[in-house]
Amino acid sequence: MEKVKVEGLNAYFSNIHALKGINISIKEKKVTAIIGPSGCGKSTFIRCINRLHEVVPHAKVSGRILFDGKDIYSSAIDPIEIRRRIGMVFQRPNPFPVLSIYDNVAAGLKLNGMKRKDDLDEIVEKTLKMAALWDEVKNKLNASGVSLSGGQQQRLCIARTLAVKPEVILFDEPCSALDPISTAKIEELIFQLKENYTIIIVTHNMQQAARVSDYTSFFLLGELVEFGKTQDIFTAPKDKRTEAYITGRFG
């Protein structure tokens, strides 16, 4: 089953053509990794999927992204609804500094009008457990979100994303600011999450792509060079450029 289908996607920053005619189809409840050298458009690509690209001044998008068969760029669609159903975890952990750990997780719900304390308590506990952070923070839910370590902050951000019950989760190099132990924890988490969520992960780390993903796509200079099962991409790439990148000859 395909969850997200991208058709002829172009993205621009004023007059820079950042993504050129991307076609890709993302399978439901699988992990799709996006690899490629810096500046190839990986982050821009996933930011188009939750309509966050257009928030940047002078950024533009053309083409279609079908989410459950509906074009998210059609004028009938509210980007706020899209962002609720397609969550995102950023490169650097970015908890809200003035909110407590509890409120960080509850923010997406509270600020969308959910008020019942019991429900919130339940969701906060559940999502913190899913993010494997509950045991570490259960006694200090009122402490500031930024008092945690980097790896904990990133898991807090994952819990925050899970709390709004998205169907797809976009990870934008979620481990690039973390040490190997925190990285392992996040990877394990992604592995568990794919049972229930469709996951797209941008990564600089090819071992990481090989470890966590079912499908891999290779981007270069704003174009999609190759897309296929992770196993195939890493063992028998069809394109010479993919092979060169994977074997470390550039990038």
Partner 1 sequence: MNIYKRRKIINAFMCSATFICATITLLPLISIFIYVLSKGASSLNISFFTHLPRPVGEPGGGMGNAILGTLTLIGLTCLWAIPVGVLSGVYLAEFGNNKFGAVVRFSADLLNGVPSIVIGIFAYILFVVPMKTFSALSGAFALGLIMIPTVMRTTEEILLLVPRTIREAALALGISQFRMTISIVLKTALPGIVTGILLAIARIAGETAPLLFTALGNEFWQRGIMQPIAAMPLQIFAYAISPFDDWHRQAWAASFVLITIIFLMNFISRLVIYLQRKSLKAK
Cβ distance to partner 1 smaller for residue 14 or 142: 142
Q: How far is the CB of 177 from partner 1 (least distance, A)?
A: 12
Identify whether the C-beta of residue 32 lies closer than 8 Å to the C-beta of residue 201. yes
Query: 12 or 96, CB closer to partner 1?
Result: 96
DSSP state of 100: B
Instruction: Tell me which residue has tokens 């050129």.
Output: 20
Classify 29 as helix, strand or coil: coil
Residue 12 or 90 with smaller CB distance to partner 1:
90
d(C-alpha 105, C-alpha 163), whole Å:
7
Nearest-approach distance from CB 39 to partner 1, in angstroms: 19
**Would strands 223-229 and 215-220 be described as parallel, antiparallel, or unpaired?**
antiparallel
Torsion of CA 18, 167, 173, 54, to 10 degrees: 30
At closest approach, how far in Å is the CB of 87 from partner 1? 7
In the complex, the smallest distance separating the C-beta of residue 45 from partner 1, rounded to whole angstroms, is 15
Q: In the complex with partner 1, which residue's Cβ is closer, 177 or 221?
A: 177
Which residues contact partner 1 (rule: CB under 8 A)? Answer: 50, 52, 55, 57, 80-85, 87-88, 90, 92, 94-100, 107-108, 111-112, 140, 142-144, 146-147, 157, 160-161, 164
Q: Where are the beta strands (DSSP E) in 45-85?
A: 59-67, 70-71
Looking at beta carbons only, is 143 or 236 nearer to partner 1? 143
Which burial class, exposed, middle or buried, applies to 117 when counting CB atoms under 10 A from its CB (0-12, 13-18, 19+)? exposed
Q: How far is the CB of 73 from partner 1 (least distance, A)?
A: 16
